[in-house]
Amino acid sequence: MFSLTSWHLLSSLVFSFLILQARCHDPKIETYIVYMGNHPKEMHVAELLHTSLVKKVLGRNFAPEALLHSYKKSFNAFAVRLTQEQAERMAEMDGVISVFQSKTHKPQTTRSWDFIGFPQEVNRSSLESDVIVGVIDTGIWPESDSFNDHGFSSPPKNWKGSCQNITCNNKIIGAKYFRVDGSFGKDDIISPRDSEGHGTHTASTVAGNWVNSASLFGLGKGTARGGVPSARIAVYKSCWSSGCETADILAAFDEAIFDGVDILSVSLGFKSVVYHDFFQDMFAIGAFHAMKKGILTSISGNNFGPELSTMTSFAPWSLSVAASTIDRKYSTKIQLGNGRVFEGVSMNTFDLHNKTYPLIYSGDAPNITGGFNSSRARLCLGNSLDESKVKGKIVLCDEFPSDATRLSGAVGVVLPTATYPKDAASFFVFPLPLAVLTLNDGITIHSYLNSTSNPTVAIYKTNEGKDSLAPYVASFSSRGPNMITPNILKPDIAAPGVDIIAAWPSITPISPVKGDKRLSKFNIIFGTSMACPHATAAAAYVKSFHPTWSPAAIKSALMTTATPMSPALNPEAEFAYGAGQINPIKAVSPGLVYDISESDYVRFLCGQGYNRTSLGSITDEEVNCKKIENETVWDLNLPSFALKRNISVSFFSVFHRTVTNVGAAKSVYKAKVIVPRSLLTIQVTPSVLSFSSVGEKKSFTVTIEGTINMEIVSASLIWDDGNSQVKSPIVVYSSAQ
């Protein structure tokens, strides 16, 4: 479970040291997911089938409780306790598409909407209140003002969802929790109620009501609002104090699709950089079955940037979202006794009224009686400081203090460090005044310490300024390329995900740092988890104007109208931001869309080496992989083009695309290509597309020819009718990536 703060990072580091070395001789029994494709026509048959498969594999060892859960509402799968050897045998069984271990994953506003050009007073569709957004996360805090239902009519007619434990209202029209193995931690609230905060934050970012004068102790003050405040929310809680289990996430998808949500928002991701095949990846499986029912899944791209190849969401039927900055920049100033001022970062909610305090270096104050020497005290470990030296002072630490309750009476912390990215102030939340500085500033402060016998410092409350460089992609946001299908671009799009304010449970401290007791109805946090609900809301906004559009058409509208981002600020270019930053208003009128049907995806999967046997059970369409063997991955009708090629080897590649006219009936689009000519030649044929009706389709080819001599070459194709500019990113990159 996750709101990405340094504390989580630190504790996961700590845990990695605790991995047991001992080898177990008993074969380990773990929870596996056995995936079998389409949901069965009759649900009770599924359970019988699942039981009989488990019996076959377990033989004499069969016990009914081994079968933890049957997924049968929206797809066919089950969760079962097996040894690795049994899992391997299970994979051989008839009808089984894939078997993979259930693991623990992590869940990864106000100003942000204005910043992307989506003001409060935008035109809204009268159908917005028919849009139901499913949020798979840590649950929800139903009493938050963001979720009251004043002025809402009753839920849309075909809605099948319901609420467990909490009472539904006309805003939160569904709320369920999932824990297929039935194990709960002592801090878990066994209900869809959110005790972590992450799910409340993401749900309110998508569809929270307008709430005036929201702030985090005065920071981020403004009207908090979701992107589609009239939309309905259905909550599927899959995350608990121990994290989010694969088996529980799949159960949420199974239920949400069946209940009838319109869009799914999944701010969760794998715990590490892993490259899973589509049918070994529960996010891809869930999103595939959602797509079959016309539901677009928006998913966070993960937080392992800025290195390349750190994305973990690859399925072309999902919308994978990167996190960008907004122009609101938080900074925290400190002033030394000699008058020098330094601008640091942090989310310091404490106002010390500009008072100066004595400053001491942690390394000069070891708790010797406690067995700490200077080289440990400098890290500001719990109890490592001598209370008689630091009490009432501000301490200069070389590492993040691990425990605010054992800082020996220090009143604040100044931390020079190069270890953490500084583009998200909410990375640094601490229950004492804190300012994080550069290592260079640290050197200056040390020489000041050396120069006086009476060093002092003041830490100011965090200040809101403007970041004129925004938007750029945050350093933590995972980067492409796509390690599963290299010739498909990921991420798809970028959305605000840095220092986002949104609703928070009133019982949950604003940070998980030990000793933090601050409560607030709003909190400021960061992550691709915060970017995902912005993209979800943009998709819901488009859907409210075009209720019949397919998931691929909505995704295309969002991508082709995205605001371009700067390759100068983001050297990884499209691998950082995909098509660019979401622009919901433009996305309502994209002019043309690149649509993709279920059978197109099946053909794509054939091209990926899946065969009739496995695909036959995930689709009702006729599957004949042989016939389309000569088609290439890059013929999937996406609004983006990616091509992986070796450096200095010349190539010639052809992409086939079809666009559908969703703009003016009579329109003539001309192709415009922007390309670094010295490297590539890109030809579009035909270069003019004339439409005479809405819904009309026209096909064209894009040939890309040349050699590349660098890692990433960016180009773009724009179809322009003078009114709409339908823009697609083109990326050619080297296989050195």
Ligand X SMILES: *[C@@H]1O[C@H](CO)[C@@H](O)[C@H](O)[C@H]1NC(C)=O
Least distance between ligand X and beta carbon 654 (Å): 8
**Gap between the Cα atoms of 33 and 78, Å rounded:** 6
Burial of 650 (0-12, 13-18, 19+ CB in 10 A): exposed
Residue choice 16, 213, 447, 678 for contact with ligand X (CB under 6 A): 447
Catalytic residue, from 39, 105, 198, 546: name it: 198
Residue choice 506, 599, 613, 701 for contact with ligand X (CB under 6 A): 613
Catalytic residue, from 70, 313, 384, 529: name it: 529
Nearer to ligand X, 59 or 119 (CB): 119
**Contact characters 514-553, ligand X, x per CB under 6 A:** ----------------------------------------
Nearer to ligand X, 9 or 664 (CB): 664
Only segment of 28-36, 293-301, 549-557, 610-618 that touches ligand X (CB under 6 A): 610-618
Comparing every residue's Cβ against ligand X, the nearest one is 370
Only segment of 127-135, 515-523, 628-636, 691-699 that touches ligand X (CB under 6 A): 628-636
Residue choice 196, 248, 259, 386 for contact with ligand X (CB under 6 A): 386
Q: Name the amino acid, one letter, at 437.
A: L
Residue choice 89, 446, 514, 518 for contact with ligand X (CB under 6 A): 446
List, in order, residues 6 or more apart from 587 with CB less than 8 Å away.
Answer: 538, 541, 542, 557, 558, 561
List, in order, residues 6 or more apart from 163 with CB less than 8 Å away.
Answer: 172, 173, 174, 175, 176, 192
The answer to whether 529 is a known catalytic residue is yes
**Gap between the Cα atoms of 669 and 696, Å rounded:** 13
Residue choice 11, 120, 440, 611 for contact with ligand X (CB under 6 A): 611
Least distance between ligand X and beta carbon 340 (Å): 13
Residue choice 112, 367, 508, 724 for contact with ligand X (CB under 6 A): 367
List, in order, residues 6 or more apart from 576 with CB less than 8 Å away.
Answer: 305, 306, 322, 473, 477, 479, 480, 491, 494, 565, 570
Using the rule CB under 6 A, is 370 a contact of ligand X?
A: yes
Q: Sign of torsion, CA 212 213 216 220?
A: positive
Least distance between ligand X and beta carbon 401 (Å): 13
How far CA 329 is from CA of 55, 347, 583, in Å, comes to 59, 11, 21
**What φ, ψ does residue 377 adopt, rounded to 5°?**
-60, -35
The answer to whether 137 is a known catalytic residue is yes
Nearer to ligand X, 376 or 518 (CB): 376
- Show the CA angle centred on residue 204, arms to residues 588 and 580, nearest 5°: 40
Find out whether 179 and 240 touch, Cβ atoms under 8 Å. Answer: yes
CA 304, 283, 118, 114: dihedral to nearest 10 degrees?
-30
Quick one: DSSP state of residue 462?
P
**Gap between the Cα atoms of 312 and 619, Å rounded:** 25
Residue with token string 């100066």: 356
| Bridge partners, residue 525, by sequence | 500
Q: How many CB atoms lie within 10 A of CB 135?
A: 34
**Gap between the Cα atoms of 87 and 57, Å rounded:** 8
The answer to whether 277 is a known catalytic residue is no
| Binding residues among 264-303 for ligand X as defined by CB under 6 A | none
Residue choice 631, 696, 711, 720 for contact with ligand X (CB under 6 A): 631
Using the rule CB under 6 A, is 649 a contact of ligand X?
A: yes
Nearer to ligand X, 404 or 424 (CB): 404
| Binding residues among 387-406 for ligand X as defined by CB under 6 A | 387
- Total residues contacting ligand X by CB under 6 A comes to 34
Residue choice 84, 566, 646, 709 for contact with ligand X (CB under 6 A): 646
Using the rule CB under 6 A, is 165 a contact of ligand X?
A: yes
Concatenate the DSSP letters of all residues of 40-93 into one string: PSSHHHHHHHHHHHHHHHHGGG--GGGEEEEE-SSEEEEEEEE-HHHHHHHHHS
How far CA 583 is from CA of 318, 557, 559, in Å, comes to 18, 10, 9
**What φ, ψ does residue 676 adopt, rounded to 5°?**
-70, 105
Least distance between ligand X and beta carbon 370 (Å): 2
Catalytic residue, from 39, 125, 137, 204: name it: 137
Only segment of 50-58, 125-133, 375-383, 544-552 that touches ligand X (CB under 6 A): 375-383
Q: Cis bond leading into 471, ω under 30°?
A: yes
Nearer to ligand X, 49 or 96 (CB): 96
Residue choice 48, 443, 519, 694 for contact with ligand X (CB under 6 A): 443
Residue choice 158, 450, 468, 678 for contact with ligand X (CB under 6 A): 450
| Binding residues among 69-98 for ligand X as defined by CB under 6 A | none
**Residues catalogued as catalytic:** 137, 198, 529
Residues in touch with ligand X (CB under 6 A): 122-123, 164-165, 189-191, 353-354, 367, 369-370, 373, 375-376, 383, 386-387, 408, 443, 446-447, 450, 460, 585, 611, 613-614, 630-631, 635, 646, 649, 735
